[in-house]
Amino acid sequence: MLSMSNRFTFKHFGADLAGGITTAIISLPLALAFGVASGAGPQAGLYGAVIVGFFAAIFGSSTRLISEPTGPMTVIMTSVIMTLIADSGSREQGLAMAFTVVMLAGVFQILIGTLKLGKFITLMPYGVISGFMSGIGVLLIIMQIPPFMGVENPGGGAIGVLRALPGIVAASKPAELGLGILAFALLWVVPLSWRKKCPPQLLALLVATGISMWLLEPDSVNRIGLIETQLPELQFPTFTTALLSRILLDGLVLGILGSIDTLLTAMIADSLTREYHDSDRELVGQGIGNIVSGICGGLPGAGATMGTVVNIQIGAKSILAGLIRALLLLAIVLGAAPLTSPIPMAVLAAIALKVGIDILDWSFMQRVPKLSRSSTIMMYAVLLLTVFVDLIVAVGVGVFIANLLTIKRLSDLQSEDVRTIGLNEAGETLPPEEQSLMEQSQGKVLLFQLNGPMIFGVAKAIAREHAAMQHAKVLVLDLHNVPLLGVTVCLSLENVVLDAQANGVNVLVAGAKGRTRERLEKFGFFEREGLEDFPERRSALERAAELSTMETRS
């Protein structure tokens, strides 16, 4: 992690200035589009871009990470705003509670960072992350269909839009649809050589808005309208007792999503810069930014991949680029906001629609069917649950399924390390001295060997080996290569000992050490009458050979 003096420096002012200006130009149309798409208004998108970007740059850990409202965060925020407005019965009250959710998201992020849990955020299986992010992309695409066609959003989320789709198509306005198609096409066809000088989002915004002002009457299309050129009014935490649990859950979901979005972007930045961010400190910085953004009525934000990559490619070296970007956007909010009033809503919908398409994990969706059937099913299940059920349900189900699959794979692998070794197998697996001891026993000694960490999934494999023990007179339980024992495995081993002793079989334990021994001692395993304990396998086999000889004589 870099110190503040290394993160903030004027040594590379020219490169940082270029990065700040370029990322501000990129952020402007996206902030406006996300503000409108969320239902909070374009000013909320601008406030979020300014505030989250500024405070995350100062208090975070990455030198070149650009933070602002993102597509995934906007989708969640849209759902939060629509739900809270509907439940509260008032737009003002609903928005106030929605901004409280943004503050709570920041609090949860600070809590995650303070508890040093940041490193666990990105340990989620990639299939779950891919399905979740792609589902958010699909949601964003669906939600932009009505404004893209010049029709008011029917409400009801993605399902509501899909149900009303025939009516939306029938009521579409040719002028606004044409502007949306023009802007959308420009986002795709702008040559790469132009993109370095003028971001396609800004070009689409300028061209489509210019045409609408030149060819169409001002009131013939839905436009942003005048944004007040003033500092935001402070929002204080607001909630009702009936909606408290809903607000807390939404804040948690928003905070976790923002953490995932940010840390994935920070990892991309690390791979490009060969620097390493501090995940926990980064989340604290993002949390501070989101708390202040919520207080000022701004959208929540996270690390933005597009802005971050462009910032790095321009050559920015410190957080100064992010600060310059935030101050430039603030200048637009305070002085140049009237210039944005003629922008057609359909053009902003086209920009958000392109973001939704870009969020879709096309590369993974194409390759995963060739890699794993289970991962494919899990990814698409999470995607569909994200779109049609609930975001938190999607992640919960995805992580649950992924953990079950992981446990099954580990258990299958570990089951191969649970085996019984008799006289016939000794020659293939044991050293000559131990082979000789097995031969002296004349087949009456059975070696029950476990290798590697043993979790609860191998209990079935242990039970399966019981049948091989019925003809033995001495059982040697070999644990010398077991670094870890789960509670369920301890119980399974206890059953093995009980069954063996009930059948008159002598049980010897060999090589239990470290954490494995500590676990068995706490379990009272060695206190069982008739159980003999040996530090190594050879001494246990010597005792086993002696016992088998005594058994033969008797």
Is 228 a residue whose pLDDT tops 90?
A: no
Asked whether the beta carbons of 531 and 509 are under 8 A apart, the reply is yes
Residue by residue, DSSP assigns 435-501 as HHHHHHTTT-EEEEEEES-B-GGGHHHHHHGGGGGTT-SEEEEEEEE-S-B-HHHHHHHHHHHHHHH
Nearest alpha carbon to residue 68 among 54, 58, 79: 54
Q: Which two tokens stand for residue 227?
A: 């944004």
Q: Where on the phi/psi map is residue 477: left (φ > 0), alpha (ψ -120 to 50), or beta? A: beta
pLDDT 10s digits, 290-304: 999 999 999 999 998
Residue 551 has a pLDDT of 59
Asked whether the beta carbons of 11 and 311 are under 8 A apart, the reply is no
In single-letter form, the type of residue at position 551 comes to E
Q: Given pLDDT bands bounded at 50, 70 and 90, which one contains residue 419?
A: low
Q: pLDDT exceeding 90 applies to what percent of the chain?
A: 19
Residue that wins the pLDDT comparison between 67 and 480: 67
- Most distant pair of Cα atoms in the chain: their distance: 111
Tokens 């009250």, residue?
93
Among 40-44, 271-275, 327-331, 511-515, name the one with the lowest average pLDDT.
271-275
Is 422 a residue whose pLDDT tops 50?
A: yes
Among 74-88, 232-246, 431-445, name the one with the lowest average pLDDT.
431-445
Residue by residue, DSSP assigns 270-306 as HHHHS----HHHHHHHHHHHHHHHHHTT----EE-HH
Give the C-alpha separation, 158 to 180, whole Å: 20
Is 28 a residue whose pLDDT tops 90?
A: no
Residue that wins the pLDDT comparison between 398 and 167: 167
Residue 105 has a pLDDT of 96
Residue 459 has a pLDDT of 52
Residue 396 has a pLDDT of 76
Asked whether the beta carbons of 144 and 356 are under 8 A apart, the reply is yes
Residue 1 has a pLDDT of 47
Helix orientation angle between 13-38 and 345-359, rounded to the nearest 10 degrees: 110
Residue 111 has a pLDDT of 95
Neighbours of 163 (CB within 10 A): 12
Give whole-number Cα distances, 108 to 13, 126, 221, 504, in Å.
35, 23, 41, 59
Residue that wins the pLDDT comparison between 110 and 82: 110
Q: pLDDT exceeding 70 applies to what percent of the chain?
A: 87
Residue that wins the pLDDT comparison between 290 and 505: 290
Residue that wins the pLDDT comparison between 535 and 99: 99
Q: Given pLDDT bands bounded at 50, 70 and 90, which one contains residue 49?
A: very high
For 484-511, what is the mean pLDDT? 78
Domains and CATH numbers, the chain: 12-360 (no CATH), 416-553 (3.30.750.24)
Nearest alpha carbon to residue 36 among 253, 340, 336, 250: 340
For 447-467, what is the mean pLDDT? 61
Residue 458 has a pLDDT of 54
Nearest alpha carbon to residue 32 among 67, 65, 64, 68: 68
Residue by residue, DSSP assigns 21-43 as HHHHHHHHHHHHHHHHHHTS-HH
Q: What is the DSSP code (8-state) at residue 528?
A: S
Q: Given pLDDT bands bounded at 50, 70 and 90, which one contains residue 50?
A: very high
Among 77-86, 465-474, 488-497, name the one with the lowest average pLDDT.
465-474
Q: Which residues contact 468 (CB under 8 A, 6 or more apart)?
A: 420, 422, 446
Q: Which residues contact 231 (CB under 8 A, 6 or more apart)?
A: 334
pLDDT 10s digits, 156-203: 778 888 999 999 999 989 999 999 999 999 989 888 777 767 778 888
Question: What phi and psi values does residue 507 have, to the nearest 5 degrees?
Answer: -115, 125
Is 453 a residue whose pLDDT tops 80?
A: no
Residue 413 has a pLDDT of 58
Is 210 a residue whose pLDDT tops 80?
A: yes
Q: Where on the phi/psi map is residue 116: left (φ > 0), alpha (ψ -120 to 50), or beta? A: left
Residue that wins the pLDDT comparison between 74 and 235: 74
| Mean pLDDT rounded to a whole number for the chain | 82
pLDDT 10s digits, 526-536: 887 878 888 88
